[in-house]
Structure 1
Amino acid sequence: MLKENKYCCEDHVDMAFDDFLVEKETFPCLEKSEDSKCSYCNKKAEYVLKLPS
């Protein structure tokens, strides 16, 4: 199974949304991230995209 959560910084939020939609075929829940790194550039992640509960 694919990774459930996608972490992104402010610069990569659009790319993360696009990738999430393609991979999961559904819209994500967007939440603030605490202590994670961006999946694209390793900067501090501002957001986490998750499957809806």
Structure 2
Amino acid sequence: MKLYCCEEHVELALDVAVDETGQFPVLEKVVDKGVKLSTTCEYCSNRPTYMVSN
């Protein structure tokens, strides 16, 4: 499971990951090295700041 989320929705993404997997998720900051991601936040259209995974 991978959820991309913005700063505003990081708590929601963490809650969803815990609910679905029953385990504490890994929170990684998305590194933007001049490359524009085509992925947006799972909950809005903002650029993702974090990736929540298990």
**TM bin (shorter chain):** 0.7 to 0.9
Tell me the TM-score normalized by structure 2: 0.79
Could you say which structure has the greater relative contact order, defined with CA pairs below 8 angstroms and 6 or more residues apart?
A: 2
Of structures 1 and 2, the larger Rg is shown by 2
Unaligned stretches of 5+ residues in structure 1? none
Unaligned stretches of 5+ residues in structure 2? none
Within-5 A mapping of 1:30-45: 30-33=27-30, 34=32, 35=37, 36-45=39-48
Deviation at 1:32, TM superposition (A): 1.3
Structure 1: distance between partners of 2:3 and 2:18? 11
2:53 partner letter? K
Deviation at 1:50, TM superposition (A): 1.1
Aligned length: 48
Within-5 A mapping of 1:1-53: 4-33=1-30, 34=32, 35=37, 36-51=39-54
Tell me the TM-score normalized by structure 1: 0.80
RMSD: 1.1
